[in-house]
């Protein structure tokens, strides 16, 4: 008994000697006098071993050299030194083991120059009028706090010294100068957007939940009210479909970029938020933004709640099914006054894109991270189109076999419910098992043929199976030739193509080019060198192929039965 009491006393002494772990990180953010940098002070408990590591990735989200945005890093605590390890994405602080807390200061500055282009939008943007940052290139994180807290730490952010008319909006709140964020993971905290400055923050109440639209700039082709209407209808429709109004706060941010010719837009689904940017010029089409909003906001469920077991191997689901439900929900809910005609025309474009994709029959086993991001023509969009057509087929097949009592919607809600209850992820086995509950025959052979093996769908037979009306042929995008590996020469050319008719020949050296990929309405222009002279060749990159095209008529609209 005495030995047992002594052991308890020793154990008590050990606990009493150890400092109580505090899994809270405190940040204070202040602007520089000229508002061209943001100064960050962070206070947190040190690592007991005398070495504290701060995480700040040098490469992330397609960007590199992100350490270039950090300046004037200082450790305010005595007897502490800090060194940088860019390769690891670390800042290493050496300090006495008995040091309780540590204070670090640093400044974040924009490192890109000139007008804001799309490719620069994922780097910190800090201008006198506004700032726009993602948290992974804004806030350092102590590595040991993440480990000790089992990735469930607290964050306090104080925003000091900003002008009264300065709008502050981020993934965790709007107009708040002090924010207490409890029990968050590294993934969720480092997947957030922070904006401030001359933004217009429009607040909406959607079924009792707060949705904020933060936008800046004077846009050429739309008013704020137009985007607000699109956003409100989109969020409302999606939450009704998923039977989910659990998100109490959500923000969409939008900033303009500069582009002289054509247009571009992109967005990222983040924690409680969606960040987007678009080229602000006369070429920007609102229809593209309608698609963007609906696709990316759909990822709150598909890809976020309902997750892939193997990210790239199930892109046909997380991106393809998202694409299908993007079109379906826009048409069904008349967003931007679009209806089934919108679905038919956009779906025809999806089918064309799949049919003309150089990688259209690539097996799913080759869909890897390196392949997906390799830049090889067609690979990145392949799972979008392949998966969207699979979703269309399944939607029609389930309706047909249940005489309209069920649809793919029921399968999607099954996926959602299983993800919520058990954390179930999308695997091919689970997908087939769930789908088979609604079908008379095993879906595995069809899935293996078109998803696993990558064989192109028999579009005509499928349209016939479900009784859709269609034209037997389509006009599709076709450059008419293939490039050499370095894209500096015409490697081979189809002698029946418009390119050949216009004068392009195998072996021609390409000095300049301009064309809209996948567009049959814009002329392709190529400057080639012949006998020391530059020759400009123009043509419409188009050909007619045996590819059925759904008719945009009343019969097909009613047959979709949304």
| Fold (CATH) for 20-198 | Immunoglobulin-like (2.60.40)
Which residue is associated with the tokens 């209806």?
Answer: 339
Task: Compute the distance between CA of residue 274 and CA of residue 247 in angstroms, rounded to an integer.
Answer: 13
Torsion angle defined by CA atoms of residues 420, 423, 428 and 433, in that order, rounded to the nearest 10 degrees: -60
pLDDT of residue 262: 82
Task: Compute the distance between CA of residue 281 and CA of residue 260 in angstroms, rounded to an integer.
Answer: 8
- Res. 20 pLDDT band, cuts 50 70 90: low
Task: Compute the distance between CA of residue 255 and CA of residue 219 in angstroms, rounded to an integer.
Answer: 10
| Average pLDDT score over residue span 67-74 | 94
Sheet of 125-126: strands edge to edge? 125-126, 130-134, 193-197, 167-170, 173-174
- How far, CA to CA in Å, does 216 sit from each of 167, 255, 257, 341, 512? 11, 6, 11, 33, 36
Task: Compute the distance between CA of residue 350 and CA of residue 385 in angstroms, rounded to an integer.
Answer: 6
Q: Which of 83-92, 200-209, 385-394, 525-534 has the lowest mean pLDDT?
A: 83-92
* Whether pLDDT at 7 is above 50: no
* Whether pLDDT at 370 is above 60: yes
pLDDT of residue 418: 98
Residue 179, helix vs strand vs coil: strand
* Whether pLDDT at 6 is above 60: no
Residues of the chain with CATH 2.60.40.3650: 20-198
- Run of H or E residues at 461: helix 459-466
pTM of the model: 0.84
* Whether pLDDT at 537 is above 50: yes
In CATH, the architecture of 301-468+550-560 is Orthogonal Bundle (1.10)
- Res. 19 pLDDT band, cuts 50 70 90: low
| Fold (CATH) for 199-296 | Neutral Protease; domain 2 (1.10.390)
- Res. 347 pLDDT band, cuts 50 70 90: very high
Domain 474-545 falls under CATH 2.30.42.10: yes
* Whether pLDDT at 526 is above 90: yes
Closest CA to 26 of 200, 191, 145: 145
Residues of the chain with CATH 1.10.390.10: 199-296, 301-468+550-560
| Average pLDDT score over residue span 476-485 | 91
Rg of the chain over Cα atoms, rounded to whole angstroms, equals 27
In 333-453, which residue ranges form alpha helices assigned H by DSSP? 340-356, 369-372, 382-401, 408-422, 428-436, 444-447
Task: Compute the distance between CA of residue 511 and CA of residue 529 in angstroms, rounded to an integer.
Answer: 7
Closest CA to 294 of 322, 315, 266: 322
Q: Which of 29-33, 39-43, 85-89, 257-261 has the lowest mean pLDDT?
A: 85-89
Q: Yes or no: say if 178 and 150 are a contact pair by the CB < 8 Å rule.
A: no
């Amino acid at each position: 008994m005495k030995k047992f009491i002594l052991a308890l006393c020793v154990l008590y002494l050990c606990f009493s000697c150890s400092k109580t772990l505090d899994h809270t990180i405190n940040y204070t953010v202040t602007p520089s006098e000229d508002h061209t940098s943001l100064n960050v002070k962070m206070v947190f408990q040190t690592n007991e071993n005398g070495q504290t590591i701060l995480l700040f990735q040098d490469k992330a989200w397609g960007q590199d050299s992100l350490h270039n945005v950090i300046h004037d890093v200082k450790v305010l605590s005595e007897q502490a030194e800090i060194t940088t390890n860019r390769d690891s994405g670390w800042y290493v602080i050496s300090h006495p083991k008995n040091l309780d807390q540590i204070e670090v200061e640093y400044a974040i500055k924009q490192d890109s120059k000139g007008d804001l282009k799309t490719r620069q939008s994922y780097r910190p943007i800090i201008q006198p009028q506004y700032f726009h940052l993602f948290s992974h290139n804004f806030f350092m994180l102590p590595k040991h706090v993440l480990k000790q807290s089992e990735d469930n730490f607290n964050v306090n952010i104080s925003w000091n010294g900003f002008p009264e008319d300065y709008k502050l909006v981020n993934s965790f709140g709007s107009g708040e100068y002090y924010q207490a964020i409890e029990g968050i993971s590294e993934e969720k905290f480092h997947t957030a957007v922070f904006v401030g400055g001359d933004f217009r923050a429009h607040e909406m109440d959607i079924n009792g939940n707060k949705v904020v639209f933060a936008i800046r700039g004077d846009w050429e082709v739309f008013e704020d009210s137009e985007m607000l209407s699109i956003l409100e209808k989109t969020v409302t429709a999606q939450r009704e479909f998923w039977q989910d109004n659990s998100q109490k706060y959500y923000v969409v941010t939008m900033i303009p970029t500069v582009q002289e010719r054509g247009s571009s837009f992109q967005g990222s689904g983040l924690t409680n938020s969606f960040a987007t940017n678009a080229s602000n010029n006369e070429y920007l089409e609102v229809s593209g933004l309608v698609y963007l909003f609906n696709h990316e906001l759909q990822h709150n469920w598909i890809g976020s709640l309902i997750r892939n077991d193997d990210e790239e191997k199930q892109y046909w689901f997380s991106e393809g099914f998202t694409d299908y439900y993007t079109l379906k929900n826009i048409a069904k809910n008349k967003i931007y006054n679009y209806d089934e005609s919108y679905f038919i025309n956009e779906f025809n474009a999806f089918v064309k894109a799949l049919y003309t994709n150089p990688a259209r029959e690539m097996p799913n086993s080759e869909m890897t991270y390196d392949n997906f991001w390799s830049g090889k023509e067609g690979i990145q969009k392949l799972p979008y189109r392949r998966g969207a057509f699979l979703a269309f087929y399944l939607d029609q097949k389930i309706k047909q076999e249940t005489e309209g009592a069920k649809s793919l919607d029921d399968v999607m809600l099954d996926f959602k419910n299983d993800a919520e209850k058990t954390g179930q992820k999308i695997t091919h086995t689970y997908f087939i098992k769930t789908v088979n509950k609604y079908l008379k025959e095993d879906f595995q052979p069809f899935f293996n043929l078109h998803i696993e093996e990558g064989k192109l769908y028999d579009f005509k037979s499928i349209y016939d199976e479900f009784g859709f009306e269609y034209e037997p042929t389509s006009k599709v995008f076709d450059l008419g030739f293939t490039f050499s590996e370095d894209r500096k020469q015409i490697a081979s050319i189809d002698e029946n193509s418009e390119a050949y008719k216009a004068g392009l020949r195998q072996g021609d050296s390409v000095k300049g080019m301009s064309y809209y990929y996948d567009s049959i309405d814009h002329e392709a222009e190529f400057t080639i060198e012949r006998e020391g002279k530059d020759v400009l060749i123009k043509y419409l990159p188009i050909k007619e192929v045996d590819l059925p095209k759904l008719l945009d008529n009343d019969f097909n609209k009613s047959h979709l039965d949304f």
